[in-house]
Amino acid sequence: MGAPLRRPVLVDDVHEAIKALIMDHRIAPGARVSIDGLARDLGVSPTPVREALARLESAQLVVKEPLRGYRTTPLLTLDQLDDLYQFRLLIEPWAAARAAGRAGEDGRARLAAELAAADAPDDDTYAAYRAFTAHDARFHLLVAELAGSDQVRQAFQRTHWHLHIYRLHYDRGIGPKALAEHRKISDAVLACDAAAAEAAMREHLERSYYGRLRPTYAEGDR
């Protein structure tokens, strides 16, 4: 009875191990991914590696090429990053304002609990900042959910923005800054202050984009 329970755990472990290799660029952007090689390195059979890669394909971290196997996706270009943040700047300030006006007692409790449990990482590796990445995704998705629009939440979730942004650039200074900005947004939502929530979310996104991510590109690099 116990043996079948090990398979999902194994696939989850393999999935996280391969994701860490991609996020830390130990498998370079655009590089071919060897299923047999990964299986040997991780000490598992090829089957959980294939299943893990299928999950990573849905997150747009790898792509399967006909007759050639898997390859990691390239990093976001500057144009793609611009496009992503234009989308976020249209959707998320609106969602934060709506969440401030619509979140009930349960929603506000969930938001407060999310911020209370969050902590900034003290290292630059994916292993160290994985928990913060997960918090970042949960926080933004929760704000979208509290806005009361499933269409907005689903559209936002399909971008897998958090993986691509953290894969593009991370240093240990980002976590404390982003966490402080999350708390400012949360405080406004908990206070039911729609204007302050909208402004705090816009400020957070603009600091993330213009202050932390866009400067990583060379001048003229698209």
pLDDT in tens, 12-29: 899 999 998 998 899 999
Element (H, E) at 72: strand 69-72
Give the span between the Cα atoms of 170 and 24, in whole angstroms. Answer: 10
Give this prediction's pTM: 0.83
Return the CATH class of domain 3-72. Answer: mainly alpha
Say which range, 100-104, 106-110, 130-134, 171-175, has the weakest mean pLDDT.
171-175
pLDDT score for 6: 52
Rg of the Cα atoms in the chain: 19
Q: Do domains 3-72 and 78-216 have the same CATH topology?
A: no
Residue 152: both structure tokens together: 């907005």
> Do the Cβ atoms of 145 and 153 come closer than 8 Å?
yes
Note the helical H segments in 103-220.
105-117, 126-146, 150-157, 161-168, 174-190, 194-206
pLDDT score for 4: 45
Which CATH superfamily is 78-216 part of?
GntR ligand-binding domain-like (1.20.120.530)
For the chain, the domains span 3-72, 78-216
pLDDT in tens, 123-156: 767 777 788 888 999 999 999 999 998 888 888 8
